[in-house]
Structure 1
């Protein structure tokens, strides 16, 4: 370098250069060459590892993004579930109070119509309109309870294909002539665990919603199939076998914002007066209460798909015929009834409806008061009790009455039963709100008149 300064530029240009001054021994040259090769190999290895690190960093970054997206989706789903649960609790409480208000109103209107409806046509017309409004309010409350998952369900094994085939004419008349109905059912799919009446109402709601989404006509497809749900499969069900009912339309569809709010109670995109906004919320609540799920997918301008997942029925879901104990009485004798309800306005109205039917009624404001009357020797043929009462609900009361008076018939009034329905399936029930005809029919179901013998059933 001292004798040839120009060689310095090679050092800067080439970077990894070794200068060897002559004379040198061949061993020195070989040693330097081998050292240079080892250095080059280490460079290549370092570069390869850097490339691997870059690839791993890219993969890690992608995984972090995916996990972050999954976490965000899970948090959003949790917030949505919490929001719906909160709405459900609020809705269930409102429906419970509304039921207690409707019961005396409907009962009083029914009695007034029976007594004075034939005397004054104007009064009869007004009473009929009031009863019609009461019936509509009853349907509204049932839908609220359906969303809140607080309605009392009569769960049993249901042939979904047979149910749909039986509803074909009803669906066809409901959707109108401009919509073409395609129905494809799998008769070998098995039985679903569901309440047939509520399920039929849910299917009709879905079909009517589909009709409203196709104002210019279109195609409505209703299909059933048996599906197996695995871990982490949508729509986040417990792994197992389910029956999937799909209602698909070719209508206007929904955007993402509308889709996220579709199952909220009272949310509706229809014109004012054309819907309550409770159809989809009721279906959502019914599916959750049955242990299934409800999923919506939609594309604006292309249509909407509604998938209702129902658990496959087990042996315990099959409704058995109950063998009831019977107590004989003289034919035509009015029934002696103990009425238990903590709501005074409901209890008084119910008692008046029953007395108007010709029966004797003793009243109690709580389960403990009713049991005390029975312990003191009150002779009754039927005990009628509200389900939700403080300190002792209807199920607990029924058990105590069975122990105290095993041959006494029981009728439980249900309006809001909570998330866990612990009433035995054979126990007779009457849903709030009810009118005089409803309670007469309920008592009629407990009483079988045959050859001047009254048999009380339900013990």
Structure 2
């Protein structure tokens, strides 16, 4: 066996072995040689047996097969021509392996040359790969969240609505139940926020883009930011005078800035200073932001916290990456800000050093025709008034439809239910008298946009409200009044009031 292995190491076309030679010898050296063959090699063996190679006739053949691998069994006695034929076949196979070795060596040489060329352009290559990776993440996550958000928001709608209804009915009479329901509502709201952050990173949320007085927005957020970061952190909000308007969605922008401030707070557990500034810049002095030519407003959130290492900074905007404890963050805050900036045609940049704090810069395109910010109003039930609406509610999800119907009925209004567009049109054709239609957007066969078009053509005086948990709504829906899922009882009633232009609210003691 030792001599055989030595000859194999020198180089051979194939090996001819008798079955008896393997019976009373230690094959470990041969097994080791076979296992250590190079990737191109599968050395052929011809084994001479007494009872043939069939497993049913020679059970020992299984052991030989496992031992030798590429083995051909030849039963004795045999004709010399058979042996010669097997020898030629084994040699041809071995020559093909040597040819494969030559081609593999050539490929390895080419790979070595290519690797050298790649090393010469490392920086450009790394930048291209990083951009491609980022684009792929955005696209993949965008496709995922587009569908998941619809289903997730549909599930949250009856949960949020029912909890809100129970809170109004029993929260005051049973403080313990009220507290539990309140906690459940808080959890549902956090789930809604999580979906919005996912959509923000994936650039799939619907933006109400307009010109924004950014100085007024930042000044108006001072109290909210101060209450969020706590008394141990000194806050300085200092936008530059005569700041031009920025293009963006005020609600999403407030959420993004608040996310940055909360991150800054977490980086300063022992207190510190948080500075929020805003100034106009041009791209010719800020090429690193990779912005198109033009003027931008840069909103900067600067803290004096612990800062980030280069490794952490490189991963900071990746989805679900977080340095916080489990349960204290989703890892989507910075990625949401990044996605929002990109969707608005701006950019988001981070700079940080360990022990020196962090600076977050959000670039927004400069806009014209600034509009004053709307003054927020306190949420609550619509004002009580007499009046009763007849509503047709269309939704293919039974749980969502039933929950929404009960929220509307609880305010004293009448609700007829349909599980699809065709059923809704049939009910209208039969003479159903209604004041408004509320329809889901994403439904099989006929979606909310198609249903709204059919209703507008046949019944132009009946207003339509689209409720949707889907984020990719198209232009044929954007002109219609719509309400995002999940929503509370107050939100659906307020939407109805706006839809019909009447001051309708709770019908006292109404039981429908």
**Structure 1 residues 106-162: Cα deviation after superposition (integer angstroms, max 9, x where no partner):** 222233334444554443343333233323333333323322333232222110011
Equivalent of residue 254 in structure 2, options 175, 192, 200: 200
Residue in 2 that maps onto 1:347: 401
Q: How many residues end up aligned between the 2 structures? A: 379
The counterpart of 2:296, out of the listed 237, 242, 257, is 242
1 CA distance for matches of 2:502 and 2:233?
49
Match of 2:491 in 1: 438
Contact 1:152 1:414 in 2 (8 A): no
Secondary structure in 2 aligned to 1:234?
A: helix
- 2:288 match: secondary structure: coil
SS at match of 1:294: strand
Counterpart of 1:157 in structure 2 is 211
Q: Does structure 1 residue 364 correspond to structure 2 residue 421?
A: no
Please give the TM-score of this superposition, normalised by the length of structure 2.
0.66
**Partner residue in 2 for 1:261:** 315
Deviations 1:318-348 (A, max 9, x none): 6999xxxxxxxxx944212121222222112
* Residues 320, 158 of structure 1: alpha-carbon distance in 2 compared, 3 angstrom cutoff: closer
Deviation at 1:210, TM superposition (A): 1.0
1:435–1:195 CA distance, 2 compared to 1 (3 A) = same
After superposition, the C-alpha distances for 1:383-437 in whole angstroms (9 at most, x for unaligned) are 1122233454434443333333222222121322227565335x32222111222
1:280 aligns with 2:334: yes
1:297-336 pair list within 5 angstroms? 297-314=351-368, 332-336=386-390
- Aligned-residue offset at 1:94: 2.9
Match of 2:234 in 1: 180
CA distance in 1, matches of 2:488, 2:440: 15
For the pair 1:398 / 2:452, whether they are aligned, the reply is yes
Task: Report the secondary structure of 1:206's partner residue.
Answer: helix
| Larger relative contact order, structure 1 or 2 (CA cutoff 8 Å, min sep 6) | 1
Structure 1 distance, partners of 2:298, 2:282, is 10
| Structural RMSD (CA) | 3.2
Equivalent residue for 2:162?
108
Distance 1:450 1:341 in 2: 26
Q: State the distance in 2 between where 1:307 and 1:421 align.
A: 32
**Other-structure match for 1:146:** 200
Q: What residue ranges of structure 2 are gaps of 5+ in the alignment?
A: 1-116, 375-384, 505-512
Q: Is the 8 A contact 2:208 2:249 kept in 1?
A: yes
Deviates more, 1:416-425 or 1:221-230: 416-425
Worse-matched range after superposition: 220-229 or 202-211: 220-229
